[in-house]
Amino acid sequence: MKKIVSLAMAAAVLCTAMVGCSEKKSVTTDGSTSMEKVIGALGESFEADTGITVTYNPTGSGSGIQAVSEGRCDIGLSSRDLKEEEEAEGLVGTVLAYDGIAVIVNPENPVSDLDVDTIAQIYTGEITNWSEIGGNDAEIVLIGREAGSGTRDGFESITGTEEMCQYRQELTSTGDVITTVSQNPGAVGYASLASVKDNVKLVSVNGVTPSEETIKDGSYVVQRPFVLVTKKDKELSESAQDFFDYITSDDAAEIIASAGVVAAQ
């Protein structure tokens, strides 16, 4: 009899342990590839403080917004403001931070400054050779992001080039754009400032170099928001709400700054 009771107690303990494992708390995020660094830093800090895991799926802004709409993730990540039709579908955008969209060229390119009008003329094909703007006698190779990318949407909106860019390549991630420009002396591209590395050269715009200070004071004009996307009439899970509150608090500003972007608070 004692043996039966002992086995029953052991089974109960095992069952409880299994339930605890199955209920391990987590938060799912999905969207902008440009937000990888900042969400990674925030998620790591949050997990260290709470033990709650934060997962990130880098699918692009449009896909992240759709994932929230369809209930496939807790929080969507968008590197552009929501469109009117998306808000009409019950989605809500909360600005987490502001990020500069850096215009980048190959380190061998002598061009170091462009104004917005010239950038527009380059991307629409009016200017096709670097020698026309003080560079080498070489074809300009236009690198950009795929349709639906928040980075592309922000860049084209600011430069007034929507549906007019003559891209040679349309790539699906920030990292791919940076790598491609770094390997082609004639290439020009755009990427999240937070993701730019030493293998490419930053071009100042209207004489202003992108930095935390110039993004914060608005003097660097090629910038866009990093937005958290949720559903208006659907409450977040307890873990997701805790993460949302954590990353939008004043205490998160230092972590956000360490990721190379400017906190909205």
Q: In the chain, where does DSSP find H-type helix?
A: 2-22, 36-50, 61-69, 84-88, 116-123, 150-159, 174-182, 212-216, 238-247, 253-258
Beta bridge partners of 205: 114, 208
One-letter identity of residue 213 = E
User: Fold match between 29-98+225-263 and 99-223?
Assistant: yes
Average pLDDT over all residues of the chain: 91
HSE, side-chain direction, 13 A CA sphere, residue 3: 0
pLDDT digits (tens, 9 = 90+) for 93-129: 999 999 999 999 999 999 999 999 999 999 999 999 9
CA distances from 69 to 75, 92, 101, 247 (A): 10, 10, 27, 21
Quick one: pLDDT band at residue 209, thresholds 50, 70, 90?
A: very high
Predicted local distance difference test score (pLDDT) of residue 148: 87
The dotted CATH code for 29-98+225-263 is: 3.40.190.10
Q: pLDDT tens for residues 153-162? A: 999 999 999 9
Q: Rounded to a whole number, what is the largest CA-CA distance in the chain?
A: 93
Q: Averaged over 212-230, what is the pLDDT?
A: 94
- Bridge-based pairing state of the strands 169-171 and 141-145: parallel
User: With bands split at pLDDT 50, 70 and 90, how would you rate the model's confidence at 265?
Assistant: confident
pLDDT for 46: 98
pLDDT tens digit string along 52-90?
999 999 999 999 999 999 999 999 999 999 999 999 999
pLDDT of 23: 54
User: What's this model's pTM, rounded to 2 decimal places?
Assistant: 0.75
What pLDDT sits at residue 255? Answer: 96
- 177 near 171, Cβ under 8 Å? yes
Q: Is 50 exposed, middle or buried (0-12, 13-18, 19+ CB in 10 A)?
A: middle
Beta bridge partners of 229: 76, 93
Q: How many CA atoms lie less than 13 Å away from 71 in the CB half-sphere? A: 4
Task: Domain 99-223: give its CATH superfamily.
Answer: Periplasmic binding protein-like II (3.40.190.10)
CA distance 168 to 51: 45
The domains of the chain are located at 29-98+225-263, 99-223
Provide the pLDDT for residue 13: 44
Q: What is the pLDDT of residues 4-48, one digit of tens each?
A: 444 444 444 444 444 444 456 999 999 999 899 999 999 999 999
> Look-up: residue for tokens 């920030």?
174
Average pLDDT over residues 229-236: 96
Radius of gyration of the chain (CA): 23
Could you give the percent of the chain with pLDDT greater than 70? 91
Please, which residues bridge with residue 164 across strands? none
**pLDDT value of residue 15:** 41
Q: Kind and range of the H or E element at 53? A: strand 53-58
- Tell me how many degrees the CA angle 161-263-190 measures, rounded to the nearest 5: 30
Burial call 251-261: b when 16+ CB within 10 Å, e when fewer: ebeebbbebbb
